[in-house]
A and B are shown apart, each in its own frame.
Chain A
């Protein structure tokens, strides 16, 4: 297995870039993301050294917070990248081919970044081996871990194949099917909690699939826009406009259905849908879906695509946090001085975990880009 040139940049290119970096010419994004990684690493370090009790705002009342929603967000972005890769290869291969290695690589590092957020959230991350020693087949989380591992594996294999100019239809289909199962499992992890009305829904696995496609495609659209900004322009990225409109439309329908179903119920816990109705409609649908759609319709430029994509990425992050945390808004057993409605604000350390996750993605990708890791046309076929 050849590492340099496939999994890592060529040695010479890497050392050249490192020299530029030390001279202060590495690019502002790299310095910023490196700083973010250091800050985020400090936050994660504090969580491990000081413990959750002194660093995070999750508790028995709000068991899951920003770290879980960050994990869900990046996991879905990873899945979305893979879906974009599948549709790109299937329907517009000529325009998509130069982006394939970038998209798969992005899917890979977002999956790893998400896991970093999850690892800092577990009370005893050092016991992860219990997934192997003492598995529980009835647990959606167990199956999510199984398929997540398979997902990362298939991503790695697909990436190596692209870098080495090996194209396999079977592998392409496998790299589509496994993420579907993976992120349906992630959705069922929430949807299976029948006693938490805000989560409970057979709709949630499907919702996760399409919102993953939405965010993943948005990220890939940004990659495509930067790649084609000096050649081709709008014509080359038009498929991303189409895919993004389809993604926004489907997520719109699913979000609308979920809100309507929630509003129609009177069981205890469903009042969260009524209390967050304005927020869900104005922000969750209006700003997160309608505005990006309008931008795509009336600004058919690379700038429009980037603007729409950034808006989607930002608002979907807030949507993930709302989804995770709003489930705990109404306590199931209110006692003592517990408020009637729970409010959760992430701590600075939890925010630093987000900074770390984002920085990992940006730093690794940009370095890969600057060192020509994805320029497979220059490489000889092995």
Chain B
């Protein structure tokens, strides 16, 4: 049976959106958000990276979802492999246990978040993360100074709250920052930005606790791996090869 075939011939995004709506009806502690990335479909266009930058208003040198490009083989037998890397939202995260002030923690729906009001900027979680998924906002602007353009000082909307990068005394400047599966979008019933901007629909998002969801069907195959899962971090991001 073709996983993608439905009698209504719905678009993949529509299917995932329905899965999302169904998950949001459940209590938060019964959800478990996960992501699957089909590496056969990824063409390395970086649309997810730029979409994420736009959605979360990240400053230069911070990328929540970079795409690693790897060249395999030698001429004339050469191919490219692309590996988008969001935060893995690990079930056993190494970053939360090292935070001295509990500013970063795992929510009951599986997403690892950062409380910008608590973070002291010690960067211990950056050191502890084996995926390099965390960044520190040191206060750079695209225009190179504090008198940023409107784009740079607008409310980013992350975590559904108001955060303006007015100066280095204002969070999130000085904080650790990372991908959070676009919490503010999820809670409004929208898919993550990277899912919707992906040109080839290589990114899937959904509730891993919902056996009817598309993502569960996708990750229940043998051709699925999780990045660095031998470290015991139990990532919630799956790669399809």
Contacts and interface: CB of A to CB of B under 8 A. Distances in A.
Chains A and B belong together in one complex: yes
Interface of A: 50-54, 56, 58-60, 63-64, 121-128, 130-131, 133-136, 138-142, 145, 189, 192-196, 199, 327, 331-336
A141 B122 contact: yes
B196 to A, nearest CB: 22
A10 to B, nearest CB: 40
B127, B130, B173, B231, most chain A CB atoms within 10 A: B127
A127 B136 CA distance: 16
Interface string B202-217: 0000000000000000
A147 B166 CA distance: 36
Contacts of B101: 127, 130-131, 133-136, 142
Given A333-B132, A335-B68, A195 B126 contact: no
Contacts of A334: 68
10 contacts: A63-B123, A122-B120, A122-B121, A123-B122, A123-B123, A124-B119, A124-B121, A140-B98, A196-B128, A335-B85
B123 A139 contact: no
B54 interface: no
B139 A134 contact: no
A60 B137 CA distance: 8
Contacts of B124: 139, 141, 189
B167 to A, nearest CB: 7
B97 A333 contact: no
Interface residues of B, number: 46
Contacts of B175: 123-124
A196 B100 contact: no
B174 A124 contact: yes
Contacts of B127: 63-64, 193, 196, 199, 327
A335 B94 CA distance: 22
**SS class of chain A's interface: helix, strand, loop or mixed?**
loop
Q: Which 9 A-B pairs have the closest CB atoms?
A: A123-B121, A123-B174, A51-B168, A53-B139, A333-B132, A195-B130, A53-B138, A63-B123, A130-B101
Given A124-B119, A124-B174, A138 B97 contact: yes
A189 B125 CA distance: 12
Interface of B: 61-63, 66-69, 85, 94, 97-103, 118-124, 126-140, 167-169, 171, 173-175, 231
B66 A63 contact: no
Contacts, number: 137
B98 A139 contact: yes
A259 to B, nearest CB: 21
Contacts of B62: 60
B61 to A, nearest CB: 7
Contacts of A127: 101, 118-120
B171 A124 contact: yes
Contacts of A130: 101, 103, 118, 120
B130 to A, nearest CB: 4
**SS class of chain B's interface: helix, strand, loop or mixed?**
loop
Given A195-B94, A195-B130, A123 B66 contact: no
A192 B231 CA distance: 14
B136 A123 contact: yes
A315 to B, nearest CB: 25
A128, A192, A196, A332, most chain B CB atoms within 10 A: A332
A335 B67 contact: yes
B140 A53 contact: yes
Contacts of A199: 127
A347 to B, nearest CB: 12
A50, A51, A58, most chain B CB atoms within 10 A: A51
A343 to B, nearest CB: 16
Contacts of B137: 123
Nearest to B97: A138
Nearest to A132: B101
Nearest to A146: B100
A214 B129 CA distance: 32
A52 B174 CA distance: 8
B93 to A, nearest CB: 11
A50 B173 CA distance: 12
Contacts of B67: 335
Given A52-B139, A123-B123, A130-B118, A59 B98 contact: no
B68 A333 contact: yes
A123 B132 contact: no
Contact of B61 (A50, A51, A60, A122): A60
Given A58-B138, A131-B100, A136-B99, A125 B132 contact: no
A370 B55 CA distance: 62
B168 A52 contact: yes
Nearest to A55: B138
A334 B167 CA distance: 30
Given A51-B139, A63-B136, A127-B120, A195 B129 contact: yes
B63, B99, B122, most chain A CB atoms within 10 A: B122
Given A52-B139, A142-B101, A145-B100, 13 more contacts: A51-B173, A58-B123, A58-B138, A60-B132, A60-B135, A122-B174, A130-B118, A135-B102, A140-B98, A194-B231, A332-B129, A332-B130, A335-B66
Contacts of B173: 51, 53, 123
Contacts of A327: 127
Contact of A139 (B66, B69, B97, B118): B97
B47 to A, nearest CB: 15
A194 B98 CA distance: 11
